Structure 1
Amino acid sequence: MSTNSSSDRIQLVQGDITRQEVAAIVNAANSSLLGGGGVDGAIHRAGGPVILEECRAIRARQGGCKTGEAVITTGGRLPAAHVIHTVGPVWHGGHRGEPELLANCYRNSLRLAAEHRLDSIAFPGISTGIYGYPKKEATVIALQTVRAFLAQSPLPKTVVFVVFDDESRRYYEQELRS
């Protein structure tokens, strides 16, 4: 077990998740695993066709990826060796299990990273784009879930939250101080 507190293992970066030099980046995927817009499209474009090929193989084997679940592929041409694809919930006001489904995205992604002995992972703001999850609420869930996981597991050693905009950065900075 690491002597560092979970807070010492969490970093915040404002930038492009496809450029992060970590063992795995997390893709906010859709259930088809066939690429899409936003972060998903950017990861597929940057990583190249091998990611899509592996996603198609996963689809053939298990029929896609359910909301809250996660699967792992190679990183292709990305600096990260792996991509962990997770399907976040679409926001419907918070009364359809969205908080637990979002927490499961983080938990299952971290579990896959630990199972594959990956020492670092970078997360985008899952579900906060086109899926409409309010950024402030999503930030609280992300950090609570990651802190709880890190308190129980030595891996990954480092978790990086990669934010795209100033608003998201402020929410993470505020929550990391609390």
Structure 2
Amino acid sequence: MSTAPAVVPEGAEKATFAAGCFWGVEYMYRKHFGDSAKGLYDARVGYIGGDSSNPSYRAVCSGATGHAEATQITYDPTKITYNQLVEFFYKMHDPTTVNQQGPDRGTQYRSGIFYHTPEQETVARDITKRANEQWWGGKVVTEILPARQWWDAEDYHQLYLNKNPGGYECPSHYLRKFPELK
């Protein structure tokens, strides 16, 4: 199983989410959205939203870089919609805790949506508003920010839970059952 970035076909789009420990987030998106036949070309773990260049895992975990552990998804928008990806984001983690997911604490574990286009920003804000009202009771603290520089995490983090079955998974990463958003 290769951890090199997938070849990205023309027309592919990117979506970037921070929802705590990136191993579980990447694993859940891959498990739920499948492979390129279902529209998922790639899911990479890395760092976004901070101030330092080419950050390392150790530096990000120190809290000194300002980066979040994140997952960047490359997908076929004719098979998966950005709406589906954002709704899944709100179902698969707890967006109500500041800088924390389960026992993992620190700014690198914050909840964030990093949009790549004005259309993504609109969708992210709309779904966040509805998820906050209908699912999370007004407690969502998710940041919605423009995607800036992305840094791939070190190779050993890519596909971590595939390579390490039974490895650490944040207990807050599971798919919650919510009614459809109105």
TM class by smaller structure: 0.3 to 0.5
TM-score if structure 1 supplies the norm length? 0.37
